Amino acid sequence: MFLFNPDNDLALANFNSNYTPPASALKIAGDLAALPLWFAPNHSKVVAEGLDNEHFLSFIQKSFPIQSSLISFSDISRFPEEEIIPWGWNPALRKRLLDTGVSEEKLPSMNELKQLRDYSGRQHAVKMLRELKMQRSDFCGESYFFDNVDDTQRFLSSRSGNKVLKMPNSGSGKGLIWILGDITDKQTDWCRRVIREQGGVIAEPVLEKVQDFALEFFAENGNVRFSGYSLFQSAASGAYLGNLLLSDTDIEKTLSKYVSIETLHWLKAFYPQKLAEYFPQYNGFIGVDMMVCGTKNNYRVQPCVEMNLRMNMGMVARIFHDKFVHLHSSGKFVVDFFKKRGEALDFQQKMQKKFPLSVENGRIKSGYLNLTPISGETNYVAWMIVERNVSE
């Protein structure tokens, strides 16, 4: 059973069983509830309620070999033999499932969730980056964990240019404060509060980013394997915007404009053993975010910006491409926000008309497709657009 709970990072950071997500997180969870249909194995159950989701599933099954079914959250306990696979685990989700009658044996214990919260802290990325730079001299980036305000301020004063401060635990692209020049009194108060609540703060100089990418891995019973590349885009704030739908080979070709294939292959070989050492008790996906950065004379890789111990949009895009995109096509996967009522519906109608969908044997050759249902009330949409490669 697959469940999309995008508030997971915030809930895990809060670590309260009675945590209430912000309204925006609840809205995106509702609007994109059907997203696991595209990455769950066939014959899975996806927790997505309502007629919109049912109609959407019927619509996509006409063109794609998707054999999963939909259930409501309250029905999860009716399938005791099924494994529950959420976007990520946290105490609030555990309590919600217990309250619906799910047996405690099927859920992670609170001690296991405490371990997961520690594993998910950005301080591990600080340590990993240090190890990586000791291995090779062609990586870039600096990252430090400070447990007091004085040391943090000394670091900020010692570096020219812009800096960023990060909470150890927060949502991806969230919990960041950008220091443009000198730190303000308000930012110092934020820093003091984060250190008090989470034990420290991460401080880094801002790099000249050229391209975001990630290496995706899967951990199972102490073994970690490479699952694919993710070539993605993020806003200046760090918020996720979307992924390119490309094969792993084409992503390597794209990145090789800046860095050597040898460097990428070295990272693919380095990480499995290290991730197994860092997170021996963890089972599931691990996305390691990286950046290509411009330096004075060349491009370098910042090889460990962040490590996400959960399902992630890069992995969704990887699976979607490999399952549903035609061999000779490529495109992009986007998670979009539409503020006004009816705006998402208008967007869908325009895109469908301008880029009609062409599907062959369950794979998209070209065109637009929304990957989650859209109504007049929809604010968040996952969609993709694909085109035939020029050489074809």
Summarised one tens digit per residue, pLDDT across range 94-134 is 999 999 999 999 999 999 999 999 999 999 999 999 999 99
Q: What is the mean pLDDT of residues 211-229?
A: 97
Distance CA 123, CA 119 (A): 9
CB atoms within 10 A of CB 81: 5
Q: Does 17 score more than 90 pLDDT? A: yes
Summarised one tens digit per residue, pLDDT across range 172-200 is 667 999 999 999 999 999 999 999 999 99
Q: Does 281 score more than 90 pLDDT? A: yes
CA 232 vs CA 292, 314, 315: distances in Å: 12, 7, 11
CB atoms within 10 A of CB 212: 20
Q: Does 330 score more than 80 pLDDT? A: yes
Distance CA 167, CA 159 (A): 20
Q: Does 237 score more than 80 pLDDT? A: no
Summarised one tens digit per residue, pLDDT across range 244-253 is 999 999 999 9
Percent of the chain with pLDDT over 70: 99
Given strand 201-205, what is the order of strands in its sheet? 144-146, 201-205, 163-166, 176-179
User: CB-based burial of residue 109 (10 Å sphere; 0-12 exposed, 13-18 middle, 19+ buried)?
Assistant: exposed
